[in-house]
Amino acid sequence: MRHNGGMAHTPVDPTGKQIHLTRGDVTAHIAQVGAGLRGLTVDGTSIVTPYPEHSATPFGSGTVLVPWPNRIRDGRWEQVDPHGRSYSQQLALSEPDLHNAIHGLLRYAPYAIEEGDGSVTLTATVVPQKGYPFALVTQVVYELTDDGIRVTHRLTNVGDAAAPVGVGAHPFFHIGDADPREFVLTLPAATTFEVDDRLLPLAEKPVEGGTDLRTGEFLGDVDLDTGFGTLARDAEGRATSTLEAPDGRTVAVWQDESFGYLQVFTTEAYPGQPRAVAIEPMSIPTDAFNSGQSLTWLEPGDTAEFVWGVSYSG
């Protein structure tokens, strides 16, 4: 074995190559690993919560969650596909403390990068493996807009059997240097998921009290790791969640009809933040690989598309 002691080297960045996009007064910072949105600035105001350079992603910040978002109970799932084929599969427990599989298979995968004018396309492959014997190609397209960003996810089945799929994103938001505890968080959800002590769903029920955020609550007054459904939508089919600072500056997170659910996660342990909030669009709810709720079965050769985005006003 040769040992080149003392040779200079550059440490590997845990989030891979860094991609920077600019369009007018909008800039975005995207990480290759996990295809994560790790920065977004509009008119000089940062609205995606940053984390330190050359550090691992805290709390999955910004990463893409595919082929499922959130948790699968015990990492085990059972389903029958549309053609009558039965599956009983065991995934690795990526959340060992709660004995769950969480947030898909590509959170730590480097994506291939194709940069455009004010946009970037990141591509990765889910290969057949223990617990998920299917082949998918996933693309994430980030496109800057006049007031934020549009994100398009495309999942293509490149295998020979129908594949169960879901997708989610895990972005954290803030508004410049304003105190996040004073933000008003408003959600368009009429239902929430009651969970057990492993954060697995017991029942979907109408929002009430601390889970009814349709008229807004101060972020400092809520403590959430909570799934929501039955989202109110506008004429274009978009459901929109908002964060509003005391001075009226507002971040809006919208999701099209392919995203039927959202998860909201708050923490006081995010680096450099007294309070942080993730607003996570999801195409399926927690443990949908077992419940089957809103689960998409993608046929060989077919592609499914899911779209969400962020806008800023202030």
The pLDDT of residue 12: 87
- Ordered strands of the 18-23 beta sheet: 18-23, 26-31, 36-42, 45-46
| Least confident piece of the model among 8-17, 57-66, 209-218 | 8-17
Q: Domains of the chain, with CATH numbers?
A: 18-313 (2.70.98.10)
- Are residues 47 and 312 in contact, defined by beta-carbon separation less than 8 angstroms? yes
139 token code pair: 């693309």
Q: Higher confidence at residue 200 or residue 5?
A: 200
Amino acid at 134: F
Does pTM surpass 0.85?
yes
User: What single DSSP character describes residue 7?
Assistant: -
- What whole-number percentage of the chain has pLDDT above 90? 96
- Are residues 271 and 51 in contact, defined by beta-carbon separation less than 8 angstroms? yes
pLDDT band of 52, cuts 50, 70, 90:
very high
- What's the length of the chain? 314
How many C-beta neighbours within 10 Å does residue 231 have? 21
Classify the C-alpha dihedral 166-203-72-81 as positive or negative: negative
- Are residues 121 and 141 in contact, defined by beta-carbon separation less than 8 angstroms? yes
- Are residues 286 and 70 in contact, defined by beta-carbon separation less than 8 angstroms? yes
Residue 225, pLDDT above cutoff 70: yes
- What whole-number percentage of the chain has pLDDT above 70? 97
User: What single DSSP character describes residue 246?
Assistant: T
Q: What digits encode the pLDDT tens for the residues 186-215?
A: 999 999 999 999 999 999 999 999 999 999
Q: What is the DSSP string of 111-152?
A: PEEEE-SSEEEEEEEE--BTTB---EEEEEEEEE-SSEEEEE
DSSP, collapsed to helix, strand or coil, labels residue 26 as strand
- Are residues 33 and 54 in contact, defined by beta-carbon separation less than 8 angstroms? no
Classify the C-alpha dihedral 152-283-31-300 as positive or negative: negative
The pLDDT of residue 5: 59
- Are residues 219 and 275 in contact, defined by beta-carbon separation less than 8 angstroms? yes
Q: What digits encode the pLDDT tens for the residues 153-162?
A: 999 999 999 9
Q: How far is CA 300 from CA 79, 125, 133, 136, 305, in A?
A: 18, 15, 13, 9, 15
Q: How far is CA 89 from CA 73, 78, 131, in A?
A: 12, 6, 5
Task: Please give the Cα distance from 93 to 309 (Å, whole number).
Answer: 30
67 token code pair: 């082929």
The pLDDT of residue 1: 58
